[in-house]
């Protein structure tokens, strides 16, 4: 018994089934009934094992939904071997821009006036292009330079169809296979769906921009573009244009002109504050989303993907990060057990041994090799292997910190994220206490006690 194949999804079924066969899970293609969409030749697994980079390339060919799925899978350390996780973590939106006639049509429809009337000028060639949309440089009538993000035509409809097909498969796996019952793909797909729907609503990103500008106002070397509300809708986002060079494209001469260690330290401190104090953080600070401005500040771009962490989990995450940064493996293991949900098969002795080994390895690592995000993801992977169900917030934290490690290293090769955690721990604890004493939080606490 397989899933009931819907005619409108047959092409996607075939592509997904082909991926399962190619990457060694023909059993799942057979159990779900997706194998029926393949030819006899396609049902035969290639003699040579497919490489990790091939999976990333194959997902890119399937389009934006599958690129986003791959990026999500890169945080699910319990599902895939490390080479595949690394390859998927590098997945980028490599798409051709769509035509300017389509851009004008969308902007006119969304804003209610033609681009020539809303803006004094509007460049036809985009300055950035991704799977969900592209960005054009323009000027408002008052002369202010702005960046206008325009959503790709029909992208929402395409993603809804893809998620529908993937949802059918996930539901069948969860209900009829041990593999699905263990990894709960329906829950993972729902996480992806919510994330994508938020990203597709540019009003949400405008809200994020405003929220992060307020949250980061005391971090003087970090800048977030201001949204222009009157020129923004669910499919068009107009924001202040912040000129700069991507940190991945900085020349050696540029690196000599600024204090990279200071900038990396302030950026790391800002994200620790977002995660462990505010509980609302930018979840996608990969190097491509970070620029250096002409006045040597860090500009954060593309704030569509955010994460939220509840206060009770924040305390545990702070303790986990401290244990990791100080090299205390047994403490890290105990905190991970507290954060997760151990199953009946859980072996605490083996888990503690493995975590101690993982954390202990960093004692001999050079500063350049230290990656706190990688260690968080390794702890998550080990927990899953040892039958602990880990909350998705932990994997999102690991991915966020992994990106920050890369940004920090680009700014200052000798930057030590572990030292930054230890250095800022006392201030974070103090800020958490002050936040917990605010009237709003006290009222929430009273409600919880009732």
Contact 133, 97 (CB under 8 A): no
Question: Worst-scoring range by mean pLDDT, 359-373, 394-408, 418-432?
Answer: 359-373
Mean pLDDT of 290-300: 95
Q: What is the CATH number of domain 95-159+188-242?
A: 3.30.200.20
How does pLDDT run across 272-291, given as a tens digit for each residue?
999 999 999 999 898 888 99
pTM for this predicted structure: 0.85
User: Which residues lie across from 139 on neighbouring strands?
Assistant: 121, 145
Distance between CA 35 and CA 55 in Å, rounded?
19
Q: Choose the most confident range, by mean pLDDT, from 65-74, 317-326, 388-397.
A: 317-326
* Residue labelled with tokens 């999804």: 9
pLDDT of residue 109: 97
- Of residues 162, 174, 201, 284, which has the active-site annotation? 284
Give residue 442's Cα distance to chain centre: 32
How many Cα atoms within 13 Å fall on the side-chain side of residue 193? Answer: 16
Q: Which residue(s) pair with 389 in the sheet?
A: 341
pLDDT tens-digit readout, 418-437: 889 999 988 898 888 887 76
Model pLDDT, residue 46: 59
Confidence bin at 28 (pLDDT 50/70/90): confident
Residue 440 is predicted with a pLDDT of 55
* pLDDT digit string, tens, across residues 235-261: 999 999 999 999 988 888 787 789 999
Residue limits of CATH 3.30.200.20 in the chain = 95-159+188-242
Both tokens of 225, joined, read 């573009």
**pLDDT above 50 for 27:** yes
Give the per-residue pLDDT at 197. 93
CA distances from 383 to 317, 352, 363 (A): 15, 10, 21
pLDDT at 350: 94
- pLDDT tens per residue across span 117-130: 999 999 999 999 88
Q: Rounded to a whole number, what is the largest CA-CA distance in the chain?
A: 69
Average pLDDT (388-408) is: 89
Is residue 206 predicted with pLDDT exceeding 90?
yes
CA atoms within 13 A of residue 198's CA, in its CB half-sphere? 18
Annotation marks residue 121 as catalytic:
no
135-173 residue pLDDT tens: 999 999 999 999 999 999 999 999 999 999 999 999 989
The band of 40, judged by pLDDT with boundaries at 50, 70 and 90, is low
Nearest Cα to Cα of residue 395 among 252, 221, 188, 162:
188
Report angle CA 370, 388, 428 to the nearest 5 degrees: 50
């Amino acid at each position: 018994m397989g899933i009931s194949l819907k005619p409108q999804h047959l092409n996607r079924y075939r592509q997904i089934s082909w991926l399962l066969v190619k990457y060694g899970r023909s059993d799942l293609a057979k159990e779900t009934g997706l194998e029926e969409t393949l030819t006899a030749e396609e049902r035969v697994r290639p003699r040579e094992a497919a490489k990790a980079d091939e999976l990333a390339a194959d997902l890119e060919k399937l389009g934006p939904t599958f690129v986003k799925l791959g990026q999500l899978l890169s945080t699910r350390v319990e599902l895939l071997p490390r080479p595949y996780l690394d390859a998927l973590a590098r997945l980028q939106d490599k798409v051709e821009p769509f035509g300017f006639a389509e851009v004008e049509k969308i902007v006119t429809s969304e804003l209610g006036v033609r681009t020539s009337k809303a803006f004094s000028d509007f460049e036809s060639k985009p300055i950035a292009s991704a799977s969900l949309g592209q960005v054009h440089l323009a000027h408002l009538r008052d002369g202010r330079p702005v960046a206008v993000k325009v959503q790709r035509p029909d992208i929402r409809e395409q993603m809804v169809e893809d998620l529908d097909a993937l949802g059918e498969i996930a539901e069948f796996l969860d209900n009829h296979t041990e593999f699905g019952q263990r990894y709960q793909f329906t829950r993972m797909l729902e996480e992806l769906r919510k994330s994508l729907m938020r990203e597709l609503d540019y009003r949400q990103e405008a809200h994020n921009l405003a929220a992060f500008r307020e949250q980061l106002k005391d971090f003087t070397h970090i800048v977030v573009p201001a949204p222009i509300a009157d020129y923004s809708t669910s499919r068009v986002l107009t924001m202040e244009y912040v000129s700069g060079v991507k940190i991945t494209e900085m020349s050696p001469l540029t690196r000599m002109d600024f204090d990279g260690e200071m900038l990396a330290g302030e950026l790391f401190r800002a994200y620790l504050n977002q995660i462990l104090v505010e509980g609302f953080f930018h979840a996608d600070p990969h190097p491509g989303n970070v620029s250096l401005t002409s006045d040597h500040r860090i500009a954060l771009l593309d704030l569509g993907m955010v994460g939220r962490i509840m206060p009770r989990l924040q305390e545990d995450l702070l303790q986990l990060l401290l244990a990791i940064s100080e090299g205390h493996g047994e403490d890290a293991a105990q905190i991970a057990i507290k954060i997760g949900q151990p199953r009946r098969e859980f072996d605490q002795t083996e888990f503690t041994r493995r975590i101690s080994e993982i954390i202990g390895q960093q004692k001999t690592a050079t500063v350049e090799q230290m990656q706190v995000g990688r260690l968080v993801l390794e702890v998550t992977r080990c927990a899953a292997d040892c039958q602990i169900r880990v909350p998705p917030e932990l994997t999102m934290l690991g991915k966020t910190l992994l990106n920050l490690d890369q940004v920090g290293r680009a700014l200052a090769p000798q930057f030590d994220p572990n030292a930054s955690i230890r250095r800022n721990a006392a201030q974070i604890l103090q800020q958490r206490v002050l936040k917990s004493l605010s009237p709003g939080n006290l009222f929430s606490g009273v409600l919880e006690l009732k």
